[in-house]
Amino acid sequence: MYLCYWDGGIGKSTLVRQFITKNRLEFDTILYLHFKNSIQNTIADDECLCVNTVEKTEEESLEDYFRRKLITIRKIIAGKTVIIVIDDFDGEIRDDLLSILNAGWKVIIITRVRKHLTEYKEMDVGPLRERRYQHCLFAKCMGQEFREEQTVAIDKIINKVLGHTLTLELIAKQIAKSYFTVEKA
């Protein structure tokens, strides 16, 4: 399991999606799920994870359905190389998560909260630290290279937003649409 964590808008999910896209041929099955209050709710939610011909019965508890659905999924993907991504995880490390981790799948959990799971690999995904990469991101999102005389203004923007990736991207895209200039931004 890999655990990616840091503030929102930094690019954790984008980084994971790019990894999956680049390496998709290494996996037989890719499950990308958005966390729904607990792992049990996430797996049991048929809108989040639909398995054909498997649905919760009226008399079945959520916990029983979760276990039954998980057993069915394991049967379907037995012997396959599987990666499951759980995005926006903010839950606790409980038995329902451990049942996912112990299923023999590759698991990536994307979270804003450090969980201190020392037995698993963690990746601290943060803002771009080097100014040249911040400039590259800004230019890419602006859709053009910026002029040398704009560097001071762009550096002020970067400093003001503390290098926050999503904020830099949004400002550069607004400039690209000519809603305002680099200097006004």
Q: Which of 53-67, 94-108, 117-131, 132-146 is the most confident on average? A: 53-67
- Of 79, 68, 16, give the one whose Cα is nearest residue 44: 68
8 vs 4, 24, 88, 95, 118, CA distance in Å? Answer: 11, 25, 9, 26, 23
Asked if residue 3 lies in contact with residue 121, where contact means CB atoms within 8 angstroms, the answer is yes
pLDDT at 1 > cutoff 60: no
Dihedral-angle region of residue 88 (phi above 0 means left; psi in -120 to 50 means alpha; beta otherwise): left
pLDDT mean over 118-130: 71
pLDDT at 4: 47
- pLDDT given at position 5: 45
42-77 pLDDT tens trace: 999 999 899 998 999 999 999 999 999 999 998 888
Work out the mean pLDDT of the chain and round it to a whole number.
84
The CA distance from 145 to 116, in Å, is: 41
- pLDDT 10s digits, 85-101: 999 888 777 777 778 87
pLDDT-wise least confident of 29-38, 58-67, 89-98, 115-124: 115-124
- How many CB atoms sit inside 10 A of residue 105's CB? 19
What's the pLDDT score for residue 33?
93
Q: What is the mean pLDDT of residues 144-150?
A: 85
The length of the chain is 185
pLDDT above 70 (res 118): no
Q: Which of 1-10, 49-58, 121-130 has the lowest mean pLDDT?
A: 1-10
Per-residue pLDDT, 181: 81
